[in-house]
Every structure is written in C-alpha cells, then in structure tokens.
A and B are shown apart, each in its own frame.
Chain A
C-alpha cells in the first residue's frame, strides 16, 4: 500500500496501490479468505473497506446508508470469496464490482420514490465535486488526469453512470443525447480510461 494522502474529509487514507505486488497481495489474501483464513480477512478489510465505503458514499450520498452497504459488501466478500477467480480479473476489480452493484441497487430503490429533477440537479453538481476530490493523492491524480483525457461527453456519461448510479437511458435523458450515443460514449470512455490507467 502506498501513502494515499488526504481524502475529501481531510483524513489520510491509503488508496489503491497500482504496483503489481500490492494487487497481487490482495489476490492472495482473497484466496486465503476462501479457505476461511480469518487473519487474511482482517487484512482484506483493512485493504478494501475504505474503497468500498468511498464508492458507496459517492453513489448513495448518505453516510449512514453507505456504511451499511460497506458492511454488507464486506460480509459478501467473506461469504463468496471462493467465487473469486484470479484468472478472470484482479481482486480489486472483483470487490469493487460487488460494491458498485450493491450501492447502485440501493440508490435505485431509494430513487423510485423521490423527485427525479431534484436528484438530477444534485448528480451533476456532485460529479464536479468528485473530480475535485480525486486530486488528493498520486493515484487519485492519475485517475483525474485520465478522466480529463476523455471528451466532455464521455466524462459526463462515465461520471453520471459510475458515481451517480444512473442507467444509460437516464443519462441520455439528463444530457439530452440519444441513448445509443450514451452507450457508445460509455464504452469508448472506459476503454480510453483503461488505456490511460494502463490496467489490463
């Protein structure tokens, strides 16, 4: 783990280390968790709980609900660790996939009974927030730099979907762009992001 610098709360929090050995380590830890290794699970918690809480907060914007989602995700990690397959992707990506899915499921059930226009306005403002907050560390800077290498439309599409939990059709409505365009911009944006971040 590298020293992550300050988060938007002004607390230091180590975020993902792009170095191979660290992500390799999380892979190994998760494999150990699948065998019921409790110490390995504590280490996975230390590694990943902040990531999971972070993404849950972005999507849910409610600290209490984000904590609940974080706990549920970490419990799910313990329970289903045997399903993690290093051949299919990294442990980081496996954990974050579970985290994002849960946060999005939760925010959609909340949204189904709240004012859409109001949420839409908040989402756009908060997205700018997010890109600001991303600057806190070297890794964050890298993500920020890569995000800014996207076209404006790609960045908006990725931000509204990933950080705000909107479907591509909702994003299309918010931006006044055809859904087909949003789909391809999301894909193009993510591929450009992948190339820029050097993850594969």
Chain B
C-alpha cells in the first residue's frame, strides 16, 4: 500500500465513525485501523462524540416493548468471551493482548490435573458449544422478528376498513373472538374460558373451503384458558374457520370433531 493510499484511508475516520461509508470502504478502513494507533485513538474519541448525538435524540419507548425484548433476550444464549477473543484475534492485531484472558482456562485445566491434550479438546468443545449457541441466538432473533411481523399483521387486520368481528361459543367451553379482513386475507383469533387440555394435546385452528382444509396454527398452552391473539393468513371468502383438539405436535388435517365452526355469510 502506498503512502498516499494510507493517507486516503486515514481521512475515512470521520465517515467510518458515522457509518457513512460503503461496505468495501468499511472493510478497508478496519484493516487500516489495525496498524494505525492514531486512527484508533481518533475513532475512539469521535465515537464518544457521535454517541452524544444519538443520545440527544432519545425518546421513550412504548412500555410493552420492554417485556417483549427482555423475554427474547433471556431465551437467547450469550456469546462466550472465548469466541469473541478468537474473532478479534483474526480481525485485528491490536487486540492480541486480549489473548491473556484465555490463559486462566489453561491454568485451571493444569490445576485440576488435565493433560494439555484434554485441555485443548475441552477448549475446542467450548468453542463448538459457543458456535452452536450462536445458531440458537439466530433462532431467537427469528422468533423476535416473527412476533414483530405478527404484531404488524394484527394491526393491519384490526385496522382494515372491511374488518368484521365475530364471537362464538366453543362447544367444549369458552368463547372465541375472530376479527377477519378479506382485504388483508387474514384473521386474528382470541379465546377465553377454554377447557384446559393435558400437555399431550393442544387446540389447532383450521381454514376449510374450496381450497381444501389448511392448518391455521396451534394455539399456545395457557393455564388460564385464554388463547391468542393468533394470526391466520390466507383466508378465502368462502372459508370456514374451525378449531379442534389435536396432539400437541399438531396435525396436518383435522383428526377430531370441530369444537368451533365459524361460517362466513354473504
């Protein structure tokens, strides 16, 4: 790399700190950062300044988001320090000093009489486990995205101009409420007072019509007899909405008698 290229990269510190660079520029600058002590210092200080710009724009989040976010987090496994250390090692020379933190593990291994080979194998296992946790973390992210998408769909259905609300009794006990919109091709289902089921069974929703019987999703177990809100998409004009009791793992076709059947009129 020539000196002028270096100089060129040096001036990217400002844009880099504000994410005002392309992906390629970001990668190049991070590589440059590893060997430029002055840039590291500049970036650190400018980040403190941009953080204040962000903080100055603070607004209060809706209260409901806290519970939702925290629950998603607690279902998510955290990255172990060992993995981030490895990543940092590969990324940047300046973080090499962090390797020191890995030492206590080897020391612990020695102190409990593990051979070097066993300690190494155990360390590899830790890394493998952490990588597996990473995958699980992606799962939780998926779940969170799913629940966000579901929130949006619920709002879209409830706010649709053609939304219709129906309530009906469930034959085995309880009352169901359905809000449906044909513009949105979907419905929102809630129920209360449902009969409690053994853990081997669960309620399952169905759409039944000219397009055949389609599963509309399982209702989560609720000890207080409430269920939903559940969103079912793909609603057709002549579909009937049904509810059955199925094995907890769900069925692809209704395997027992409908405990609720809602027929649309008109």
Are A and B co-members of a single complex? yes
* CB contact between B79 and one of A82, A99, A190 (< 8 Å): that residue: A82
Pair A194/B45 contact, Cβ less than 8 Å: yes
Q: Are A171 and B20 in contact (CB under 8 A)?
A: yes
| Min CB gap A128→B, angstroms | 14
Instruction: Report if A120 contacts B (CB, 8 A).
Output: no
- Cβ-defined contact, A11 with B53, below 8 A: no
> A96-B50, A161-B20 are known contacts. Are A78 and B60 too (CB-CB below 8 A)?
no
Cβ contact within 8 Å between B15 and A167: yes
Interfacial residues, chain A to chain B (CB-CB below 8 A): 4, 7-9, 11-16, 34, 36, 38, 41-42, 45-46, 49-51, 53-55, 57-58, 64, 67-68, 70-72, 74-75, 78-83, 85, 88-90, 92-93, 95-97, 99-101, 104, 130, 133-134, 139-140, 143-144, 147, 158, 161-163, 165-169, 171, 180, 182-191, 193-194, 197, 199-200
Please name all residues of chain A whose beta carbon is closer than 8 Å to the beta carbon of B11 when the two chains form the complex.
180, 183-184, 187
Q: How far is the CA of A96 from the CA of B162 in the complex (A)?
A: 42
Selecting from B65-73, B118-126, B163-171, B253-261, the interface stretch reads B65-73
Interface residue B61 (Cβ < 8 Å from any Cβ of A): yes
Contacts A41-B73, A54-B56, A92-B48 supplied; 11 other A-B pairs, CB < 8 Å? A45-B69, A49-B66, A67-B65, A79-B76, A85-B98, A96-B51, A134-B56, A140-B56, A167-B22, A190-B46, A199-B52
CB distance from B16 to the nearest CB of A (A): 9
23 residue pairs A–B, Cβ–Cβ below 8 Å: A15-B58, A16-B52, A38-B74, A42-B66, A50-B59, A53-B59, A53-B61, A54-B56, A54-B59, A64-B152, A67-B62, A75-B73, A80-B84, A96-B54, A143-B56, A144-B56, A166-B20, A168-B20, A168-B21, A183-B11, A187-B14, A187-B46, A191-B42
Which of B137-145, B214-222, B227-235 contacts its partner? B137-145
Would you call B51 and A97 a contact (CB within 8 A)? yes
Which residues of chain B from 14 to 58 have any CB-CB distance to chain A below 8 Å in the complex? 14-15, 17-22, 42, 44-58
Q: How far is the CA of A7 from the CA of B152 in the complex (A)?
A: 26
Known: A13-B60, A93-B47, A93-B48. A54 touches B54 (CB 8 A): yes
Chain B residue with the shortest CB-CB distance to A85: B98
Within the complex, the shortest CB–CB distance from A165 to chain B, in Å, comes to 7
Pick the 6 closest A-B CB pairs, nearest first.
Answer: A187-B14, A186-B14, A54-B57, A199-B48, A16-B55, A161-B20
Interface residues of B (CB under 8 A from A): 11-15, 17-22, 42, 44-62, 65-66, 68-70, 72-74, 76-81, 84, 88, 98, 137, 140-141, 144-145, 148, 152
Could you tell me if A193 and B21 are in contact, using CB atoms closer than 8 angstroms? no
Q: Are A82 and B60 in contact (CB under 8 A)?
A: no
Report the separation of the CA atoms of residues A89 and B11 in the bound assembly, to the nearest whole angstrom.
21
Q: Which residue of A lies closest to B54 (CB)?
A: A55
Which chain B residue lies CB-closest to A83? B84
Give bound CA distance, A95 to B48, whole Å.
Answer: 11
CA distance A184 to B42 in the complex (A): 13
Out of A34, A57, A85, A187, name the residue touching B57 (CB < 8 Å). Answer: A57
Number of A-B contacts (CB under 8 A): 230
Q: Is the Cβ of B60 less than 8 Å from the Cβ of A190?
A: no
Central interface residue in B14, B80, B137, by most chain A CB within 10 Å: B14
In the complex the two chains form, is A4's CB within 8 Å of B148's CB? no
CB-nearest residue of chain B to A147: B53
Contact B58 A100, beta carbon cutoff 8 Å: no
Chain B residue nearest in CB terms to A187: B14
Interface centre among B53, B60, B74, B88 (most CB of A within 10 A): B53
- What residues of A have a CB within 8 angstroms of the CB of B12 in the complex? 183
Which residues of A sit under 8 angstroms from B57, Cβ to Cβ?
Answer: 51, 54-55, 57-58, 130, 133-134, 163
Beta-carbon nearest neighbor of B41 in chain A? A200
Residues from chain A with a CB closer than 8 A to the CB of B49 are: 190-191, 193-194, 197, 199
Q: Is the CB of B56 within 8 A of A15?
A: yes
Kindly state the separation between the CA atoms of A36 and B68 in the bound complex, as whole angstroms: 18
Query: In whole angstroms, how far apart are the Cα atoms of A57 and B66 in the complex?
Result: 17
Contact partners of A184 in chain B: CB under 8 A:
11, 14
How many angstroms between the C-alpha atoms of A82 and B88 in the bound complex? 12
Decide: A143 and B53 in contact? CB cutoff 8 A: yes
Distance between Cα atoms of A78 and B22 in the complex (Å): 27
